[in-house]
Structure 1
C-alpha cells in the first residue's frame, strides 16, 4: 500500500489527529510487529584492508604569508591526510583524539553502514580526549568524498578538522594527473573589525551584498567575517603550481569544505564528469564556463592538456578574498604564456549536464512514501544568533522525522522559503538521491545523483532515493551555521534494531 506523508507547516497536528481512526491504530500495531530491521551487513572476508591512523590534534598552520592560525587537524595538515583506496577494498581508520574536546569522523557522501556514520548522539558517543575509536567499512562506491568531524561541526570544521577520501574505480584507466582541490574560508584576526564594517551596507557594492545575502550574512552569522579564501589550506601565493604535460588527461576534484558557495572558472575546454562522486552520462564539453561548488558538494572536472598556454583556476566574485582562491596550471615544457579570463563567463546548470538515459526514478513514478520539507527561518531572540533555521517550522531535535520502511521508494520535495534569502545545501547521510525536478520542471539531461543539493532562495526540488541502508540518518543543511541552529531532521527506518544508546558521558553535539 502506498504511504504518503506530506509534512507541512500549517495544520500538521490536526491532520494527524483527524486521521487517527481505529483502523490506522491497528495498522500501526501491525507495523510495530514487523521483524526488526538490522544495520547493513558488509562482507569483509578476503578483501584488501587499508588501515590508516588519524590523529586529531592542534597544529600551527600557515594560511598565507600574513596569517598563521592554530588549526584543528587530522595528522597535522589542512586538509588532513588523503585516504585513497580502490573500489571494493576495506577502509579501516583508527581515530586518536589529542584535542581537548570530543571529536568524530563522518564519511561525507559514502553510504557506510549506520554504525560507521560518525554522528555523536545518533550513532556513537563522540571520541573523548585521549581515546581511540576505530571505523571500518567497505568502499563500495567509487568517487570523490571527504571526511570531517560531526561533533560541534560548525566550529570544528571551521578550525580545519577535515580531510579527503578518494575511492578509485577498479575497472577504469587512471588519469595521467589527478589533483584534489579543497575550497574553504577562514576568519583572520581582523574579522571583528570587518564585522562592524559589514553593518554599513551602503559602502558595499550590490554584487557583494547579493553574494553575502545568498549565504545568510544579513541575518545570524555574518559571512563577511570570512576574509581569507583558500585552496588546500593555502591562499594563492602559498599554493604550488599544478604541472601537466601536453596530451595528459587531467582530473581535478573540487570539494567544498566551507560554508559559502564558490563560483569556479576554468578558462579552457573541459567536462564535468561527476557530481558528488556520481557519474554524469555522456558529459558535454564546456567552453571556458563557470560552475558552482556549494558547501559539502564535490565536482569532478576532466580535460585533455593541449599544450597551448598555461592558465589559472580562480573564484569569481567581488569579495576581496576571492583573489586568494586561485591556483595555476602550467606545462612542464611550456613557453610561459598564460590564458586570460573572461570577465563574465557562462554559468553551468548542474541539472542540465550530460545526455538523458535510463534512470532509477521518474517524476511520474508511484512512490511508497512522499515527504515535503519546507526550509524556513524564524526569529528567536533566545538564541545567540537571534534566528533559527527550520524544517517544517521546527528545529532539531523537534523537527518531525522522515519515517520509512526498508525497500521504500521515497520522494522528498525541498522548498526554500527562508526569509533571510539564504541558500541551503541539503545533505542526506547514508544514501544517494536522484534529482527529479527543479521548480516543477523535470530534468531532461543525465540522471543527476547526489548526496548534497544546494536549494537557493525560492527554489523547489524533487528528489528520490531507495531506502536500502537501514538506520537513523541525518538530513541537514551543510551551511553548518544553519544546521547548528536547527535545520536538521532524521530519516528513520521503521522497526530498526537500535544499536546505540547515549551513555551521558559525553556532551554529544551532532552539528
Structure 2
C-alpha cells in the first residue's frame, strides 16, 4: 500500500525547519532510538534511529575553515560510525569501519575532530551496515557557510528521503539484509516520502522572496527528479561545490542518493497561492514541499544571482594525459553475475547469490584486499565508470571531489557522487591530493552491501 503522494500538496502540517542559526553547540552527539511522526496524522508514530533525538539529526552549521568536534555516544544496541559525506577530511576521521576506524560499539563512543575546508552543503550519516542504519534515520545536515554568502531571505535545508513503512503499524519494514529483490534490483525504494522527516510539509513565504534551498538526497536508493512550480530559480552548487555560472532551472533535474544541489529561487506565485518543490515520476509530478504564499516582500524581482564564491580546488586541466582506470559495473537482475571473486576465491553466480552478492566492480563482489588505484599524492587520474548493468548507480568517492568529463572532452562540474545510468559510461578526473585509504562505492546502499564496494590508496 502506498501512502498518498499528492500532486499538489494540501496538508497544513507545518515543517520543522532547520534554523539558519543552529550551531549544534553540544559537543556530544547521541545515537539512539526515538519515535517520530513520519506518516500522516492519524497514523502511529514511527520508531526511528537518530543522531540527536530526531530525524534528520542535529543540524551542524559552521563557518568555512572551522573545526568540528563531536563525541558520538552510541546508545543503540548495535555498532555504528559516522561518515562526513563530501568533506575533504583527514582520513582518520572518515568514519569507515574496517578502513579508518573500528565501529563504535553499543555503549561506546568516538571523538571526531576535523577542519572543514570547503563551504557548501554536506551531510553526515552512519557508515556501518548503512543499508539499514541510514534507512532507519541515522543522518543529518552539515552546512559550511561562506564568508560572503548570497543575499537571501531564507536559507533552508531540505533533506529528502523515502521510507518503507508498514501502513498497518506505521513502523519501518525490517527486511534489510534478506530482501534479495531489493539487493539485486534498484535497491530499497520506500512508500512514504519525507522532507526533513515530515510528510507533506508547508513552508510560509512571501511573493518575491529569494530562497536558498539546500537539497540533500538521504534516500537509500531513490533518484528524485526534482522540479519547481511557482518558483523561478537557478542551480548554484552541486555536491557542495559552486558552479562557475548559475544554471537556470527550466526543467526537472535528477538528484541521486547522496547528491546535493543548492538552488536560489524567487517566489513567483501571488499571495494566497502556493508554490511547490516537486518530484517528477512516470505517473506525474507529486509535491515534496509546499510554499504557502502570504503577502509580498517586494514589488520588484531581483536580478539573476552571481556565482557563489568558489572553493579552493586543485587544477586538473591537464587531465588529457592522465592515466585512465576502467571500472566496470556488473551484475544485478537481468544481467546476473556468471562468476566473480570474493578475495582470492572465484565463485559462480549461484554461489554469490547464496552469499547475498549480486553485484561486482571489475569482477570483485566485495571490497578487495588490493586497492583499485594506488597512487602518490597530487597525481591526476581519470576513472571511467562503465555500467553494464540494467540499473543506474550513484558512484561515490570518499575524501575527494572530482570533475565530470563531458562527451566533447570538456570539464563539467565538480561532484563527489556521479550518477551512471544503465548502459552509460561516465568519465571523471580527480587529483589524488588527500592521503589515506578511501572508499569508492555505489551509494544505492543495498548495491554496496551486496558487492559494489572498492577502495583506492593515496600515499
TM-score band, normalised by shorter chain: 0.7 to 0.9
Is residue 269 of structure 2 the alignment partner of residue 302 of structure 1?
no
Is residue 335 of structure 2 the alignment partner of residue 372 of structure 1?
no
**Kept in 2: contact 1:67–1:188 (CA 8 A):** no
Work out which of the two has the higher radius of gyration on C-alpha atoms and give 1 or 2.
1
**Kept in 2: contact 1:363–1:436 (CA 8 A):** no
The structure-2 alpha-carbon separation of the partners of 1:273 and 1:399, relative to structure 1 and needing over 3 Å to count, comes to farther
- 1:405 is matched with 376
Question: Per residue, is there more strand in 1 or in 2?
Answer: 2
Deviation readout 1:255-305 (Å, 9 max, x if unpaired): 111111011110232100000011111223223x21111001001111233
**Kept in 1: contact 2:319–2:429 (CA 8 A):** no
Shift of 1:220: 2.2
SS of structure 2 residue aligned to 1:154 = helix
Shift of 1:191: 10
Describe how 1:160-171 pairs up with structure 2 within 5 A.
160-171=137-148
Q: How many residue pairs are counted as aligned between the two chains? A: 389
Describe how 1:108-147 pairs up with structure 2 within 5 A.
108-147=85-124
Higher mean alpha-carbon deviation, 472-481 vs 245-254, is at: 245-254
**Kept in 2: contact 1:312–1:328 (CA 8 A):** yes
C-alpha distance in 2, partners of 1:221/1:73? Answer: 27
**Kept in 1: contact 2:216–2:258 (CA 8 A):** yes
The higher relative CO (CA closer than 8 Å, separation ≥ 6) is in 1
Gaps of 5+ in 2: 1-22, 170-179, 298-312, 332-336, 339-348
Deviation readout 1:70-96 (Å, 9 max, x if unpaired): 111011111101100110111111100
The structure-2 alpha-carbon separation of the partners of 1:424 and 1:277, relative to structure 1 and needing over 3 Å to count, comes to same
- 1:251 is matched with 212
The structure-2 alpha-carbon separation of the partners of 1:63 and 1:411, relative to structure 1 and needing over 3 Å to count, comes to same
TM-score, normalised with respect to structure 2:
0.79
Shift of 1:222: 6.8
- 1:235 is matched with 199
2:362 to 374, 392, 402: 392
C-alpha distance in 2, partners of 1:218/1:254? Answer: 25
SS of structure 2 residue aligned to 1:155 = helix
The structure-2 alpha-carbon separation of the partners of 1:183 and 1:458, relative to structure 1 and needing over 3 Å to count, comes to same
**Kept in 1: contact 2:357–2:365 (CA 8 A):** no
User: How large is the RMSD of aligned CA atoms in angstroms?
Assistant: 2.8
Gaps of 5+ in 1: 1-47, 193-215, 336-357, 495-511
SS of structure 1 residue aligned to 2:89 = coil
TM-score, normalised with respect to structure 1:
0.71
The structure-2 alpha-carbon separation of the partners of 1:128 and 1:51, relative to structure 1 and needing over 3 Å to count, comes to same
**Kept in 2: contact 1:221–1:481 (CA 8 A):** no
Question: Per residue, is there more helix in 1 or in 2?
Answer: 1
- 1:274 is matched with 237
The structure-2 alpha-carbon separation of the partners of 1:360 and 1:436, relative to structure 1 and needing over 3 Å to count, comes to farther
Deviation readout 1:31-84 (Å, 9 max, x if unpaired): xxxxxxxxxxxxxxxxx9966321000011221232532111011111101100
Shift of 1:332: 3.3
Is residue 135 of structure 2 the alignment partner of residue 158 of structure 1?
yes
C-alpha distance in 2, partners of 1:124/1:110? Answer: 17
Is residue 448 of structure 2 the alignment partner of residue 486 of structure 1?
no
**Kept in 2: contact 1:435–1:449 (CA 8 A):** yes
